[in-house]
């Protein structure tokens, strides 16, 4: 199992009203892009979130979070949340919305 299909369905539901959402298999899991930027993703049963540098430190103080370190080095502005941190729909919604809000503040990527 590369990523949780159940979690993917829940994330799709949260992002359903957003425009410019795409999915791509990356990092051995599934990534959700918003207007061309990585927003969030799933690796096994962990939620990967791009919350930005300003919110990254704050997010890491929350329970069930850890630094995102695919390469062995922490990726600034990205956090991973284990299942206990997104168990309720409300918790998942808050995490995904935080990532979507950050990515929505970035300029859209040009296709080319």
3-state SS string for 10-63:
HHHHHHCCCCCEEEEEECCEEEEEECCEEEEEEEECEEEEECCHHHHHHHHCCC
Under 8 Å between Cβ of 53 and 12: no
Residue ranges of domains in the chain: 5-104
Residue 51 has pLDDT above 80, yes or no: yes
Assessment of whether the complete model's pTM goes beyond 0.85: yes
Under 8 Å between Cβ of 23 and 30: yes
What pLDDT score does 69 carry? 86
- pLDDT digits 0-9 by tens, 9-25: 999 999 999 999 999 99
Q: Does domain 5-104 bear CATH number 3.10.20.600?
A: no
Residue 27 has pLDDT above 80, yes or no: no
């Amino acid at each position: 199992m590369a990523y949780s299909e159940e979690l993917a369905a829940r994330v799709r539901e949260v992002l359903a009203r957003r425009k410019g959402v795409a999915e791509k298999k990356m990092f051995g899991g599934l990534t959700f892009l918003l207007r061309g930027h990585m927003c969030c993703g799933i690796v096994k049963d962990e939620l990967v979130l791009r919350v930005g540098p300003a919110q990254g430190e704050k997010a890491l103080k929350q329970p069930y979070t850890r630094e995102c370190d695919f390469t062995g080095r922490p990726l600034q502005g990205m956090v991973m949340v284990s299942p206990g941190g997104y168990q309720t729909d409300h918790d998942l919604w808050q995490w995904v919305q935080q990532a979507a809000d950050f990515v929505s503040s970035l300029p859209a990527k040009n296709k080319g």
